[in-house]
Amino acid sequence: MRKELTFTSGGASSSSSYNSNQSLSIKAQQQHLPIYSCRLRFIQEARRLDTLLLMGETGSGKTTQIPQFLLSLGMKGMIAVTQPRRVAAITVAKRVAQEMQCKLGERVGFTVRFEDCTSPATKIKFVTDGTLLREAISDRLLKNYSAIILDEAHERTINTDVLFVLVKEAQRQRSFKNMAPLKIVVMSATMDIDHFSKYFGVKGMYVEGKTYPVKVMHAKERQTDYHNACLVTLFQIHMDAPANHDVLIFLTGQEEIDAMAQQIRSIAKNADRAAPNIRVFPLYSQLPQNKQLECFMAMPQNSRKVILATNIAETSITIPGIRYVIDSGFVKRRVYDANSGMDSLKVVRISQAQSWQRCGRAGRDSEGICYRTYTCAEMETFDEMPKPEILRSNIYSTVLQLMSLGVSCKTFDFLDKPSSESVDMAYKQLQLLGAIKSVNFPEMTETGRQMAKFPLDPKFSKLLITSQEFGCLEEMLSLVAVMSGENIFIVPTERREQASLAHGKFESKYGDHLTLLNVYLAFQKTEKIKLWCHDNFLNTRNLLYARDVRNQLKDICEKIGLKLESCGTNLDLVRKCLLSGLFNNIAELQRDTFYLTISSRQRAKIHPSSVLSGKSRPNLVIFTEIVATDRNFLKTVTVIDPEWIEEVVPNYPHLSRLRQNF
C-alpha cells in the first residue's frame, strides 16, 4: 500500500448550523431541516398545483418531510414515495415512522418486491419504483393514491421513466372522469430541471440550504489505482480522527468490497493500539437484507464504522455517524449493446450528479468531509447527469410490459425516447422468446401475455411457461425463485475450505443451475432449517426469501392455468428447459480456453464462483449473465448438449454455424 495521498480543497457547501444532530430531539431535528422553513410555501403550492417539481440539496429533508407535509393537507388516499432501491425504501420508512411516532407498517410502511410491510391504516407508503410500476399497470388510475412522489428523479431508472408517463396519464384521466385529483411531486437534489419542466409543463421549486457543511477535497494528482487511493485515504483519516467519526467508501462491486474489507481488517489488526477499533460493514445489493441494515446501527465507544458500499448507498439514505465519505469515482453499470442484444456489467466513471449525491451522504447529522480520489480537472470531464437507463439498457422487459397495456413503445410519451434500434432489438428478442408474432407487426402472443403476468425478467417468465413442454414446472419454480433473490452460498474468508466442502455435497457436474436446484430441494425437505443452513454454509434468510418468492410465483402459475408437474430425476429436462429461455446466452469453448458468446461475440471465462470453474471445460454452455470488470465472466453456467439446440430452439439464428462445429 502506498503511504500518502495529497488532496486539495474544493470548498465547502454552506450551512445554517455547525452543531451535530445528536443532542436534538427528533422534533427539533425536523424543524432544523432547511425544508422546514419552506413548509408553508410548499403546502400553498401543493394546494394550488397538481404537479410540483422540487429541487433541494442532499439532506435538506425532501424524502422524509415532503410526504408528511402532503399528509397535513388531509388527503384521503395514500401517499406513495418511490425509491430506486429497496434499502432506501426500508430505512427511510423506518425514519418517518419514528418521526410520526408510529410502528412501521401502521401509518407509515413500505412495499418492495415480494415484501409488503403496510396495513389498512397506512397513509405514507415507501415503495421501490418497480413495485409501484406493477401497481400502476394493474390499476391505471392509481385509485388507492392521492399523491405520488417520484423521488431521486435524476437517477432515471427505466421504471421511473415509465412511471412518469403512467402517473401523468392517471392524473389526466382522473381529472377527465371527475375523480379525486392525483398530486404528483417529482424530486431530486441534482435533476435537470429544465428538461423536467418542459415535460411536466410546470416550473420548479427550489429549497435552499444544507443541514451541515461538507468540505470537498480532491486528489491533487491523477490516481492510477483507485482501490489503493481509497485505502490510503481511509488510513490517513483513521490516524487522526476521533472514534465514532465513521467513514463511508464508495466502490464498484461485491468482490472489490470483500477484498478491501479483508485488507482493512488485516491492516487494522497490526495498527497502533491507541487507534479506535475499526468495524467494517459491506453494503451491496447481493448482501442479505439484514446484513445490509447492520451498518445503520449505532457503534460502541472507541469504535469506528467503515462502510464499503456500491452505489446502493448513493441516494436517499442517511447512515448515522458518517463524517467522511471517500469516493472512488467509479461505478459498475449495466451496459447494453443494441446490436448484439447483450447486457453486461462494466466499471465506468460516475457522473457529476453522482459525485454530489455521494458527497451528500456526509453532512446529515453533523458536518463532514468528502475525499474524492480524482482531481478537480478529471471531474470536469465526467458526464453531468447519469445517462437515462432507458437509453443504455435492454428494454425488452419494458416493451413487453407496455404491450400488455396495449401501448406501443414507439409512441409512448417518454421523457427521452429509446432509439428505434433498441426497440427493434427488443422486438427481435421477444419474438425469439415467442412473446410477439413478428418484429414488423409486433402483436402479443398468448405466451407473451402470460409472460407479462410475472414480476420477472421475460427470460425467466419464459422458463416457467416452457417448463410445461418439459413437465418440470416444480423444478423451474424453485430455480427461478432462487435466481430472483440474493446469493444463497456463504463463504467466510477464514473458513473457505469447510464451506467449499459443504457446498460440494450439492454440486452437479452439469453446472450451477442444477447445483442451485439441489440446494433448494434439500432445503425443502429440511426441518431444522437454521441448523441445517449453518452446517452447510447456506444463507437461511435468502433461502426463506426464495421460498416466499416461489409461493408467489406458484400462485401466478395457477391463476394462468399452468400445470404443476415435476420431472423427478430426469434433470436433462430441466437443462433443456433452461436452453429454451436462455438461448440468447449460449457460449462456445475456443481453442485458447476462452468462451465466445454466440450471439454477441464476446470472449469470456467462466466465473470463479461457478462449480464448472477450474474443471474440464465443456464445449457448449448457457449462462444467466455476463459480468465485465477487467475481463468478461460468465455467471451461473450450465453444460448443454449441442444436439439439443435444434430440438429445443429450432429457429435459433446461429444454428447453421453451430452445426458446422459439432
* Residue ranges that bind ligand ATP, judged by CB under 6 A: 21, 33, 56, 58-65, 91, 95, 189, 211, 315-316, 318, 320, 360, 364-365
Closer to ligand ATP by CB, 296 or 336: give it: 296
Residues 6 or more apart whose Cβ sits within 8 Å of residue 40: none
- The per-residue b/e assignment along 343-372, b for 16 or more CB within 10 angstroms, e otherwise, is bbbebebbbbbbbbbbbbbbbbbbbbbbbb
Nearer Cβ to ligand ATP (60/536): 60
Residue pointed to by grid coordinates 464498484:
252
Rounded Cα–Cα distance for residues 579 and 185 (Å): 44
Least distance (Å) between residue 253 CB and ligand ATP: 22
Closest CA to 308 of 332, 288, 326: 326
**What DSSP element (H or E) covers 79?**
strand 78-83
Residue 476 near residue 602 (C-beta atoms within 8 A): no
- Rounded to whole angstroms, how far apart are CA atoms 155 and 157? 6
Sort strands 595-597 and 586-589 into parallel, antiparallel or unpaired.
Answer: antiparallel
Q: Which is nearer to ligand ATP, 102 or 259 (CB)?
A: 102
How near is the Cβ of 26 to ligand ATP at its closest, in Å? Answer: 8
Please give the torsion angle defined by the CA atoms of residues 413, 416, 422 and 426, in that order, rounded to the nearest 10 degrees. -40
Distance in Å, CB of 435 to ligand ATP, minimum:
37
State the nearest-atom distance from the C-beta of 95 to ligand ATP, in Å: 4
Q: How far is the CB of 512 from ligand ATP (least distance, A)?
A: 37
Burial 317-340 (b: 16+ CB within 10 A, else e): bbbbbbbbbbbbbbbbbeebebee
Q: Which is nearer to ligand ATP, 64 or 584 (CB)?
A: 64
Distance (Å, whole) CA 197 – CA 179? 25
3-state secondary structure 163-198: HHHHHHHHHHHHHHCCCCCCEEEEEECCCCHHHHHH
Cβ atoms 624, 483 nearer than 8 A: yes
Nearer CB in complex with ligand ATP: 64/632: 64
Q: Does residue 533 contact residue 539 with C-beta atoms inside 8 Å?
A: yes
Q: Using the minimum distance from each CB to ligand ATP, give the nearer residue, 105 or 320.
A: 320
Kindly compute the dihedral angle of the four CA atoms of residues 389, 397, 418, 335, in this order, to the nearest 10 degrees: 40
What phi and psi, each to the nearest 5 degrees, are found at residue 635? -115, 150
Min separation Cβ 327 and ligand ATP, Å: 15
CB of 17 to ligand ATP, least distance (A): 11
User: Is the Cβ of residue 236 or residue 244 nearer to ligand ATP in the bound state?
Assistant: 244
Q: How far is the CB of 360 from ligand ATP (least distance, A)?
A: 5
CA-CA-CA-CA dihedral for 316, 319, 324, 325, to nearest 10:
-40
Distance in Å, CB of 298 to ligand ATP, minimum: 10
**Nearer CB in complex with ligand ATP: 122/315:** 315
Nearer to ligand ATP, 107 or 462 (CB): 107
**Is there a contact between 89 and 128 (Cβ–Cβ < 8 Å)?**
yes
CB of residue 31 vs ligand ATP: minimum separation in angstroms? 11
Q: Put the strands of the sheet holding 115-117 in their side by side order.
A: 115-117, 108-112, 124-128, 78-83, 145-150, 183-188, 51-56, 204-207
Return the number of the residue (365 or 486) whose C-beta is nearest ligand ATP.
Answer: 365
Closest to ligand ATP by CB, 60 vs 461, is 60
Taking the complex as a whole, the smallest distance from the CB of residue 365 to ligand ATP amounts, in Å, to 5
How many angstroms separate the CA atoms of 354 and 359, rounded? 8
Could you tell me the smallest distance in angstroms from the CB atom of residue 12 to ligand ATP? Answer: 16
Closest distance of CB 53 from ligand ATP, Å: 14
Kind and range of the H or E run holding 606 = strand 603-606
The one-letter amino acid at 611: V
What single string gives the DSSP state of each residue in 297-339?
Answer: S---TTEEEEEEE-GGGSSS---TTEEEEEE-SEEEEEEEETT
Joined grid coordinates for residue 431: 419474438
Cell of 588: 462456445
β-sheet bridge partners, residue 53:
186, 204
Radius of gyration of the chain (CA): 25
Return the number of the residue (316 or 429) whose C-beta is nearest ligand ATP: 316
CB of 371 to ligand ATP, least distance (A): 18
Q: How far is the CB of 214 from ligand ATP (least distance, A)?
A: 11
State the cell numbers at 510.
452439469
Q: Which is nearer to ligand ATP, 288 or 360 (CB)?
A: 360
Q: Which is nearer to ligand ATP, 170 or 370 (CB)?
A: 370
Of the pair 35, 425, the CB lying nearest ligand ATP is at: 35
